[in-house]
Amino acid sequence: MLGRIVAYAGMKEGYHVTWMPSYGPEMRGGTANCTVIISDQEIGAPIVERPDCAVVLNKPSFIKYEPKVLAGGVLVVNTDMVDVRSSRKDLRVVEVPCSSIAIELGNPRVLNMVALGALVESSGLVGVESCAKAIEEIFSEKASLVEINLKAFHRGREAVRGTL
């Protein structure tokens, strides 16, 4: 869902976008992933070997993807599920207790929206308003989901700014 919202936000901003989710049995605790490319030029292939940004929500994902992020990139880490720290000095590592914040908000399932807020705030990958509108549209079928997901998104942004 995080990747889908980033892709929608990029489209809202007029960019070329690809979105390629990978879901399988690893989705519950492994290294399920989603690749999103946002570009002002046409995109030739939806494959990314070295991303500019990555969000890792658990330790297996951290181990697999942290080394792949380009120098100068952003790595958002869910510190509730990742007990190791990046030793890379060439990244902006953003550590946020995504799971704890989601539980505090009353819905553990919104931890990805907390991570999305942290990503947007720390990378500028897409705009805040574009993401908020994408969240509203994607969850429009159920108003309560719009509210909690927006709240989680903004709490992730606040965590990066240190205003929690």
Asked whether residue 33 carries a pLDDT value surpassing 50, the answer given is yes
**Domains observed in the chain:** 49-161 (3.40.920.10)
pLDDT in tens, 41-99: 999 988 899 999 999 999 999 999 999 999 999 999 999 999 999 999 999 999 999 99
Angle made by CA atoms 108, 114, 115, in degrees to the nearest 5: 115
Q: Residue 70 gets which letter from DSSP?
A: P
* Residue bearing the bigger pLDDT, 24 or 89: 89
Asked whether residue 30 carries a pLDDT value surpassing 80, the answer given is no
| Entry pTM | 0.92
